[in-house]
Chain A
Amino acid sequence: MSTFIIRRLLQAILVMALMSVIVFFGVNVIGDPVHMLVSPEADQAEIEAAIRRLGLDKPIWEQYLLFVKNAMQGDLGKSFIFGEPALKLIFHHMPATLELAFSALFLAVLIGIPLGLFAGLNPDSPISKGIMAGSIFGFSLPTFWVGLMLILVFSVELGWLPSTGRGETRSVLGFETSLATVDGLKHIILPALNLALLKISLAVRLTRAGVREAMGQDYVKFARAKGLSTNRIIFVHVLKNIMIPVVTVMGLELGSLIGFSVVTEKIFAWPGMGKLLIDAILQLDRPVVVAYLMIIVVFFVLINMIVDILYSILDPRVRLQDQGA
């Protein structure tokens, strides 16, 4: 186990070093932040002064070396626009994104797996066909459209839920979360549902396919022959066996929920990292873009590692040491 984790960490460092080069140089070829940030009324001398203040007068490789040097000390640069350390900004926006991502994942599992289970066990029922047809919509409708429709229906027409923003937050274990207040919950329902829609469909399809396959397997027949109750067969044996692909995919999807919930956050004016990222990209706030992508790399590496560990718990045949580099 520990060799596995150490090897994974070394891999992570390599990935991050490569990423930093790609991201840093990639971001620096696009546009020029100074033209975005400086007041149009500034004269040429003031524009040059701004370039110097932002450190953009140095050659790009020198900027990169400076970035690496500071990054070693945990400083990923200061946001051009906010004047605050990029890391601080990202961590400030992180709880909002995390709670949104986990709420969406929770909804996906809570709604998707039971629906998929039902559809897998009763493949010919009209309800199952309805579920499967619905999941196609979940896949194919664009998030921004669904989001706007949700706002239109539940906020504008029905007036049940607030349209945008994050509600009241309360500090739980040092994190400011809106899941702990009624106002916060009201605010999170729509964006979480919007974000979850695609994942629900995914969970439905994966679970259904898994159940359909498992039900024909010898171990299920044997369990039946042994006289186990249907519930025990389904909820203990079948469910456990089909969970491996579901956990894998949901784990990876969690990464993308956290990293790239940009559209949902923008539509619902959700003050999370995705919104921070898209604003930073639009305004060429380079330090924030770079720092953000570095953090996402860390996230993906960590999530993959956790998924691997979960495998070994779910399926004793999987040995962590066997997972190659």
Chain B
Amino acid sequence: MKFSTILLALAGGAITFGSSPASAEKLTFGLASETTSMDPYFHNVGPNNALLLHIYDRLIRQDERQQLSPGLALSWKPIDDLTWEFKLREGVKFHDGTDFNADDVVCSFERAPNVPDSPSSFATYVKGKSVVKVDDYTVHFKTETPYPLMGNDVSTVAIVSDSVGCGAATADYNSGAAAIGTGPFMFGSYTPGESVVLKKNPNYWDGAAEWDQVEFRPIASNPSRVAALLAGDVDVISGVPTTDIVTLRNNDAVELHQGPSNRVIYLHLDQFRENSPFIKALDGSDIKNPLLDVRVRKAISKAINRDAIVEHVMEGVAIPAGQLMPSGFFGVSENLQPETYDPDGAKALLAEAGYGDGFQMTIHGPNDRYINDAKIAEAIGQMLTRVGIQMSVETMPRSVYFKRASSGSPEGTPEFSFILVGWGAGSGEASSPLKSLIHTFDKEKGFGSSNRGRHSDAAIDAVIEEALATVDDAKRQDLLAKATEMAMETQAIIPTHFQVNTWGTRKGLSYIPRTDEYTVVMSVKKD
């Protein structure tokens, strides 16, 4: 028949097409999330910040473990309580050939917080600082109060060029006209939803990259991304789903690379309402919010089998957590260990607090935000039911979840009683979660903005605020560790585990895992 010949012809055509071998000098990434702008200040969000790291350098770099090292600045130090002096690298050129100097720094920090229509600006890192040019290669950052996190903040802000970048609009960046930085790669092309292509900067001050060209392709669907790697269409993928890890380990064509992230998954508990909306007595009547009692919070922490979550829900790809950041980060306490699983101890504590018979509670969580988030919520629900708290589990898309979790109640306060959330410390040190999650919700001072349990303890607040005004690193480390210990003592939040991220590469490449979850060329090494 006619149609069968057509089918044959189609199949035959497919065979002869074959697939062209990828050029050795080109590296292709399959990314779990899409980069949505070439303007480094338009949207302060991980996928954008990661990709734009290739085009634009920072004054200070964050390495794979978010430790700071010199970038466009050679050195930075406080010269008095309110002034930090940055010495800039000389002889660095932008992609268009102009020289990098202090003017670029000043205007970059001016533009960073002021991009029109930005859904999330860099004001978070820039505000409270004024940048003054001293000479062509020296700038002073002045603050109103002593500020220790200058290095961390400055390391987030890209440097664009005074001549092209600072006066440009976001659209000019997206077209490539203004996408001029000093970074290891130059803008090639940007097709929203399809790809970003970058070309090697042969004159990079820190040595030219190994690849002539890199392409980043967003492949949001997990199985498709894995398939693209297996088919050899991409060289590196981010966000390997935990369900595929075992299969991929046994595949000779690909290699997996894993490392902990700075993201802690934790539970926030309603500690500000006498009657919490999703907690009821066993018979369904209203009861006084049991989570106000530290013994109940401790009991919940003891009832959670963190090893089981890691082993069975996360397929072994996570680290049990006993504090806000994994060990190795600045401000982490040496003394804290993950709570051991102790259901009997939990029952005893509940009984002691007067809840020996238990109560009803709902755990709310997102189902599309963190690795296996909905499954974790279900597991925690079961574990708590086992010690007598009758749990319901409700998960929802993050687009709905975060609004309700932050301000969903009629009074504009958090709606839920007991929630699963995660926190990634963008600054790479412990003040970030302490300031946002543990400190009392304080709109005036800008503290506790994500404190959805509204835990409030003046003593801990005082230590956090002291740490944030202590420029001396050793002293600040101790204060941050102390604040963390205090917060764990009163169980302000209950950490469950630290996420571990997995990257997949084709054989012959390796990826140095980054704690900030970024996927960048600089972490890809040839074996």
Residues of A within 8 A of B (CB): 30-47, 49-50, 53-54, 78, 80-84, 89, 92-93, 96, 110-111, 114-115, 118, 148, 151-152, 154-156, 159-166, 182-183, 185-186, 189, 266-269, 271-272, 275-276, 279, 281-284
Contact = CB atoms under 8 A, between A and B. Distances in A.
Interface stretch (B56-64, B422-430, B479-487): B422-430
Nearest to B18: A160
Given A40-B423, A82-B36, 15 more contacts: A30-B400, A32-B407, A39-B426, A41-B426, A41-B432, A42-B44, A43-B447, A43-B449, A44-B446, A82-B174, A148-B227, A155-B228, A186-B14, A186-B17, A269-B224
Contact of B220 (A31, A34, A36, A269): A269
10 contacts: A36-B398, A44-B443, A45-B446, A81-B36, A83-B174, A118-B3, A155-B227, A159-B19, A163-B233, A164-B225
B107 to A, nearest CB: 20
Q: Does more than half of chain A's interface fall in helix, strand or loop, or is it mixed? A: helix
A126 to B, nearest CB: 14
B242 interface: no
Given A110-B6, A283-B399, A155 B37 contact: no
B402 interface: yes
Nearest to B10: A189
In the A-B complex, the 9 residue pairs with the smallest Cβ-Cβ separation, listed nearest first, are A43-B446, A271-B194, A32-B403, A37-B119, A35-B402, A155-B231, A271-B193, A31-B399, A163-B231
B368 interface: yes
Interface in B388-445: 397-400, 402-403, 406-407, 423-424, 426-427, 432, 436, 443
A72 to B, nearest CB: 21
Contact of A148 (B19, B117, B224, B400): B224
Interface string B165-205: 00000110010000000000000000111110000000000
B368 A282 contact: yes
Contacts of B14: 154, 160-161, 186, 189
Nearest to A85: B171
A32 to B, nearest CB: 4
B408 to A, nearest CB: 9
B3 A115 contact: yes
A282 B423 contact: no
Contacts of A185: 17
Contacts of A165: 194-195, 217, 219, 228, 233
Contact of B1 (A33, A45, A114, A186): A114
B337 to A, nearest CB: 26
A54 B194 CA distance: 25
A80 B232 CA distance: 34
Contacts of A272: 193
A50 B19 contact: no
B119 A54 contact: yes
Nearest to B46: A39
A283 B42 CA distance: 16
A31 B233 CA distance: 37
B45 interface: yes
B82 to A, nearest CB: 21
Interface stretch (B120-128, B291-299, B351-359, B496-504): B120-128
Contact of B3 (A46, A53, A54, A111): A111
Contact of A80 (B119, B193, B233, B398): B119
Contacts of B228: 155, 163-165, 269
Nearest to A182: B17
Contact of B219 (A32, A38, A110, A164): A164
Given A155-B231, A271-B191, A276-B193, A161 B171 contact: no
A294 B443 CA distance: 39
Nearest to A117: B3
B307 interface: no
B484 to A, nearest CB: 18
Nearest to A176: B191
A37 B118 CA distance: 9
Contacts of B219: 164-165, 269
A154 B18 CA distance: 11
Interface string B441-459: 0010011011000000000
B7 interface: yes
A24 B403 CA distance: 19
B15 interface: yes
Contacts of A40: 423-424, 426, 436, 450
Given A31-B402, A115-B3, A159-B231, A267 B224 contact: yes
A78 B398 contact: no
A268 B228 CA distance: 9
B1 A118 contact: yes
- Residue of A46, A84, A267, A279 contacting most chain B CB atoms (<10 Å): A46
Contacts of A96: 194
Contact of A53 (B18, B118, B170): B118
Contacts of A93: 192-193
Given A46-B121, A151-B224, A282 B397 contact: yes
A268 B227 CA distance: 10
A149 to B, nearest CB: 10
A114 B7 CA distance: 12
B193 A81 contact: no
B91 interface: no
B233 A164 contact: yes
A37 B120 contact: yes
Contact of A160 (B15, B192, B224): B15
A37 B47 CA distance: 12
A261 B221 CA distance: 15
A244 B128 CA distance: 70
Contacts of A110: 3, 6
Contacts of A161: 14, 17, 19
B142 interface: no
Given A82-B192, A164-B228, A269-B224, A114 B400 contact: no
B39 A83 contact: yes
A276 B447 CA distance: 35
A54 B117 contact: yes
Contacts of B232: 159
- Residue of B36, B223, B225 contacting most chain A CB atoms (<10 Å): B36
Contacts of B17: 160-161, 182, 185-186
A80 B119 CA distance: 6
B3 A39 contact: no
A269 B402 contact: no
A151 B427 contact: no
Contacts of A34: 119
Contacts of A182: 17
Contacts of A43: 124, 446-447, 449
A32 B405 CA distance: 11
B9 to A, nearest CB: 11
B220 A160 contact: no
Contacts of A269: 217-221, 224-225, 228
